[in-house]
Structure 1
Amino acid sequence: MIEFAFPLALLLLPLPLLIRLFPAYKESRDSVKVPFFDKLVDLSEQKPEQGARILRRSTLQKILVNLTWLLLILAAAKPQWIGPPIEQQKSGRDLMIAVDLSGSMEARDFTLPSGVTVDRLDAVKQVLKELAANRESDRLGLIVFGAAAYLQTPFTDDHQVWQQLLDETEIGMAGPSTVFGDAIGLSIKLFSDSDSDNRVLIMLTDGNDTGSTVPPVDAAKVAAANGVRIYTIAIGDPATVGEDALDMDTITRVSEIADGRTFRALDQDEMRQAYITIGELEPELYETISFRPRQSLHWVPMALISTLYLFYHGFFAFASLWAGRVTNAP
């Protein structure tokens, strides 16, 4: 399909008709008046003509001029070839995973389907592999936190790289304690640089906040104001006491404020079910971008004009040259 980028230029097409409203152009030339004009005519063997005349174009010239004007206007209107619609899908949601790497994650109280007992972090990694495989439409990010919160993986569509960086995490690499609120604060900062309007944070911890700069509840209020939904997964034994005790009141309060939900995972099956439920609450989302490729065709009428004029002048130059050779032939 062909469209014009500047269709108003076509209004100039009848402009040459206005020229007919004006008188013909007159050009004066100097002349010499002599008393022996008749003798001069006889000697020059030329026939006297009228002193003023209007030059008339040939039919071919008229066609060429009108066609040139038409092609110039078409070029000015900039015709474009519009191709068929092309649709592209991109990630519709930014999903940040925040994993607790405090020392309490060393507890080996999770059993894999194979019967092997593993620590809490290994159990988390196994479930997150399934999560990444089922969230192909989402951009994933990874935050690890302990005594401080660190960005392990920025938002990316490359889930293989995300998985590799997750596998490289180790217990204690972020410090021994748990800064739950700072991890939320870091995720808010990362979401502020995101273009997506669908922002989800999954917090996974087995302890309680032990000295965040921003209290978790306050951080959750800021997250809610920035459109970030928070789902928290508390793992481990809720009966634990001391520094490793689960602060379920704070964890639940954070999810409620940020329009999310709280899950308890005492084993890997419950943890997997938590991610399945989150997947149902946050279904895969695609954003479709549709565009039609445009190819400018303004060069076509310009090329036709050049071809016509080259052919026209070339033809008459050749005809004139040929006529001169015939005249000078013996």
Structure 2
Amino acid sequence: MITFLWPLAFLLLPLPFVLRRFLKPADKGLGGALKVPFFANLSRDLGSRADRVSTSWWKLAAASLVWLLMVSALARPAYVGPDVPLPAKGRDIMMAIDLSGSMASQDFAVGGRPATRLDVVKDAADAFIDARKGDRIGLVLFSDRAYLQAPLTFDRQVVRNLLDQAEVGLTGQETAIGDAIAVSLKRLKDRPAEGRVLVLLTDGANNTGEMDPIRAAELAKKLGIRIYTIGVGGGPMAVDTPMGRQMVNPSSDLDEGALRKIAELTGGQYFRATDVKGLAEDYRSIDKLEPVGADPVHVRPEVALYFWPAGLALLVAALSVLVGTAPALIKNRSFIKGPAHKEA
């Protein structure tokens, strides 16, 4: 809606009438210092014209309209939008996603069809990111090495798009968990102490990289950064083999002990996801452990409109002066051109 931020300015509306009523009129007998040969005639014509026009209704209406517009501009008209809730406090959350070769394993099922671990992770992480309104989200992808894919940002849609574009093997085939933690800590360490979180997801064990995962977790503990770890992969299942029906464990490479210790050291929690529902539930659990600020701040965006009445006042004033002086100036154009010379 449109409102006036300084409505008391309208108390100035009767000011011109008060001044005209109580102040002494200006002395019209004062002369100028500039001598112009034809000034007397021009002054007489302009003066008589001004006297007649000053009593006309349109000049009074124009002056009143100009004053009304100027006071309206001073009252600061503005368009005020609806309330927009903003979270009072937000968290800084880095997400580290494993892209090693084993993430292409199809031991998950979506709609009765096999799905790779990475596809299921993308869907679950996408829902988690979408729910973190008001938080800064960053993305680290890792396998042989860890790479910062998205710095901490409020633009959750960009992070979701970058995660959706990730492919298995994009950064190699091995698993550098320690390096992923180190790269994430580098982005989190300079943020405010409250609300710094790392969510690390992997389906294997640390088998490459420069940083040991436990050493990286100890550094996170010193910095006060919580790490939530998620181990993904199907559980033991019976499959038919040439040797008969046997039990296999597609997640035999998963180092649950190390992931659990990383989480415990930093005050986080370890989750195990063996199916789609379990993975989605793990992300919802993290969402509850690190809730978005519950008390939002409501703001109402404002768009200033004062320049509209101010500009219109200037236009009306200019037109009023032009209409009032143009006839006299046209009538006295001979004075501007100069006197005519008679032929001998």
- With normalisation by structure 1, the TM-score equals 0.60
Residue 132 of structure 1: how far off its partner (Å): 1.0
Q: What's 1:3 paired with? A: 4
Partners of 1:111 and 1:117 within 8 A in 2? yes
- In structure 1, runs of 5+ residues without a counterpart are 30-54, 322-330
Q: What's 2:70 paired with? A: 75
Q: What's 2:168 paired with? A: 169
Residue 305 of structure 1: how far off its partner (Å): 1.1
- In structure 2, runs of 5+ residues without a counterpart are 33-47, 236-248, 334-344
Relative to structure 1, is the Cα distance of residues 96 and 62 closer, same or farther in structure 2, using a 3 angstrom cutoff? farther
Q: Deviations over 1:44-75 (max 9, x none)?
A: xxxxxxxxxxx9x8475278489649836953
- Note the 1:106-255 alignment, pairs <5 A: 110-112=107-109, 122-133=116-127, 135-138=129-132, 141-154=138-151, 155=153, 156-158=156-158, 161-166=161-166, 168-170=167-169, 173-174=171-172, 176-180=174-178, 182-191=179-188, 200-205=197-202, 206-208=204-206, 211-212=210-211, 215-221=215-221, 224=224, 229-235=226-232, 246-248=257-259, 250-255=261-266
In 2, Cα distance between the equivalents of 1:188 and 1:78?
52
Relative to structure 1, is the Cα distance of residues 94 and 86 closer, same or farther in structure 2, using a 3 angstrom cutoff? farther
SS in 2 for 1:169: coil
In 1, Cα distance between the equivalents of 2:122 and 2:277?
13
SS in 1 for 2:174: coil
Equivalent residue for 2:97, pick from 92, 96, 99: 99
Q: Deviations over 1:129-164 (max 9, x none)?
A: 133146435465431223432123445414662343
Q: What's 1:61 paired with? A: 54
Q: What's 1:38 paired with? A: none
In 1, Cα distance between the equivalents of 2:104 and 2:314?
78
Partners of 2:84 and 2:300 within 8 A in 1? yes
Residue 86 of structure 1: how far off its partner (Å): 4.4
Q: For 1:71, give the aligned amino acid.
A: V
In 2, Cα distance between the equivalents of 1:140 and 1:254?
23
Identity of aligned residues (%): 23
Q: Deviations over 1:79-120 (max 9, x none)?
A: 5442241456789666432123456x46959442567777xx
Residue 165 of structure 1: how far off its partner (Å): 1.9
Relative to structure 1, is the Cα distance of residues 125 and 20 closer, same or farther in structure 2, using a 3 angstrom cutoff? same
Relative to structure 1, is the Cα distance of residues 245 and 11 closer, same or farther in structure 2, using a 3 angstrom cutoff? closer
Q: What's 1:85 paired with? A: 81
How many matched pairs?
280
In 1, Cα distance between the equivalents of 2:269 and 2:8?
56
Q: For 1:309, give the aligned amino acid.
A: V
Partners of 1:148 and 1:175 within 8 A in 2? no
In 1, Cα distance between the equivalents of 2:319 and 2:128?
60
Q: What's 1:24 paired with? A: 27
SS in 2 for 1:207: coil
Q: Deviations over 1:223-244 (max 9, x none)?
A: 53xxx5532213468x999995
Residue 311 of structure 1: how far off its partner (Å): 2.4
In 2, Cα distance between the equivalents of 1:69 and 1:269?
72
Partners of 2:9 and 2:75 within 8 A in 1? no
Q: Deviations over 1:250-290 (max 9, x none)?
A: 3232441xxx3321335554333212322344457788653
Relative to structure 1, is the Cα distance of residues 157 and 274 closer, same or farther in structure 2, using a 3 angstrom cutoff? same
In 1, Cα distance between the equivalents of 2:189 and 2:7?
40
Larger radius of gyration between Structure 1 and Structure 2 = 1
Q: Deviations over 1:197-244 (max 9, x none)?
A: 8654311133258641792233323653xxx5532213468x999995
In 2, Cα distance between the equivalents of 1:262 and 1:101?
19
Q: For 1:276, give the aligned amino acid.
A: R
In 2, Cα distance between the equivalents of 1:59 and 1:213?
95
- RMSD of equivalent CA atoms: 5.1
Residue 3 of structure 1: how far off its partner (Å): 3.1
Equivalent residue for 1:275, pick from 275, 283, 287: 283
Residue 7 of structure 1: how far off its partner (Å): 7.5
In 2, Cα distance between the equivalents of 1:134 and 1:115?
23
Partners of 1:150 and 1:174 within 8 A in 2? no
SS in 2 for 1:293: strand
Relative to structure 1, is the Cα distance of residues 269 and 207 closer, same or farther in structure 2, using a 3 angstrom cutoff? farther
